[in-house]
Structure 1
Amino acid sequence: MSETADSLIEVLREQCLIQGQNGIKGLSVVFRAMDIDYSKRIVYEELKIALEKFGLLMSENYLRTLFNALDLNDSGGIDFCEFMHKLRPSLKQCRIDVINEAFEKLDVNKDEAIMIDDLQVIYSTNAKQHPKFISGEWTEEQVLRNFLDSIDTPGNPDGKVTREEFMNYYAGVSVTVDDDSYFDLMMRACYGLPIRGS
């Protein structure tokens, strides 16, 4: 891949990250909206419209270079997974390790996807402390589904979160936390993981 293509992807990533942990998720929502035929891929013209809606304007030449960089298999369209993989910020190995540890804890039945039945086993106590559960507004299942949808692919929650979706979500969170030790501690506290060295 050319240096220009890499730098354009970096610019797009930075524009998303400026908007905080949901920036990349926000762009993926726009991407999904452009996928009119539900093919999970968009063509050049759709990418142009999506970026304009997201507030990013590029020259035709730059946009073509970006499109070619994101179309990894030269199919004439950008696959959603290709798109998210390219935009995900790089993570240090220590952060990848703790994110994977959290995923593995939540994936009770070890099928590489977190679903409601996994959360009912491992996250039920947390669900029962949610204000909407306590008030009677939501059932335990609604609380768990809300949690699942918050980390699922935006605009297309399907009731299961893959390892890739989990990693994408926490890659966005990661950029908001400078200190590796704090990120590790935050993940461990959130998911009840053992503290290192204990």
Structure 2
Amino acid sequence: MTREDDMKASAEAEAEEADSPQVKLRCLLLAQGYNAILRFGRMFRIADDDGSRTLNMEELTEAINNFGIDFSEVEIAEVFNAMDEDGTGSVNYDEFLNKLRPEMNEDRVAVVEEAFAVLDESGDGVVTLEDVKDKYDASGHPSVLSGDATEDDILTKFLGRFEGATKEDGTVTKEEFLDYYSGISKSIDEDEYFIEVIKKCWKL
């Protein structure tokens, strides 16, 4: 099994023991892979036609159903109400995703942000798929190091994940970058190893 497979199995088991619908939702998303939270967030960003950066109960329900997550109306309402702290009937979806994303400590966030900054040479907060292709080194990926995949396998899979999530606008934001790497972070216990993986992948 790969690290991602282990993470999926662990997340599914953790969902059974979750002490809140919010934690259960996070676990069930992670059970679908490293990039599940990235894809979940992308659905909201694409649907935000008016640029309000907000999410209502109907949109959350639709997203959860589209992901095939078996949540009751009560559980969805509990998740939404926990996020809607001011009771307006809408929540900022970036804040929502920040709370949903698996926590990374400061050192892990710092190295991921450093990697993003290398890609985002213009400093405008977005990178294109071509930027990623030119600068990503797959040799340090856990699956390559363990012999479960080749560098070409990982590069193709990695780019495919971002392409599948960003084909609407051809860009990757820093939030999406963090969403993706939060899933990988969840599967790696050792801080030093995680940081080493990111630095080698992005030639930092």
Q: TM-score by structure 2 length?
A: 0.64
Whether 1:64 aligns to 2:49 is no
Q: Which has the larger radius of gyration?
A: 1
1:94 corresponding residue in structure 2: 107
1:181 corresponding residue in structure 2: 192
Matched residue type, 1:170: Y
Structure having greater relative contact order (Cα 8 Å, sep ≥ 6):
2
Whether 1:164 aligns to 2:175 is yes
Greater share of helix: 2
Whether 1:81 aligns to 2:129 is no
Q: 1:71 to 1:124 in 2, by over 3 A?
A: same
Q: CA deviation at 1:7?
A: 2.4
* 1:94 counterpart SS class: helix
Measured against aligned partners, the alpha-carbon deviations of 1:146-174 in whole angstroms (never above 9, x if no partner) come to: 94x74479266423322222111111221
2:165 corresponding residue in structure 1: 154
Extract unaligned runs of 5+ from structure 2.
Answer: 1-18, 138-150
Q: CA deviation at 1:48?
A: 2.5
Q: CA deviation at 1:124?
A: 6.1
| Alignment check: 8 A CA contact 1:106 1:114 kept | yes
2:202 corresponding residue in structure 1: 191
| Alignment check: 8 A CA contact 2:22 2:79 kept | yes
Q: 1:178 to 1:108 in 2, by over 3 A?
A: same
2:92 and 2:163 mapped to 1: Cα distance? 17
RMSD: 3.7
% identity of equivalent residues: 34
Q: 1:96 to 1:152 in 2, by over 3 A?
A: farther
1:109 and 1:181 mapped to 2: Cα distance? 29
Q: TM-score by structure 1 length?
A: 0.66
Matched residue type, 2:110: D
Measured against aligned partners, the alpha-carbon deviations of 1:18-70 in whole angstroms (never above 9, x if no partner) come to: 2220222343455568x4x7345443233233323333334443322211123
1:137 corresponding residue in structure 2: none
Matched residue type, 1:123: D
Matched residue type, 2:170: G
1:8 corresponding residue in structure 2: 21
1:11 and 1:176 mapped to 2: Cα distance? 17
Extract unaligned runs of 5+ from structure 1.
Answer: 1-5, 132-142, 194-198
1:159 and 1:58 mapped to 2: Cα distance? 32
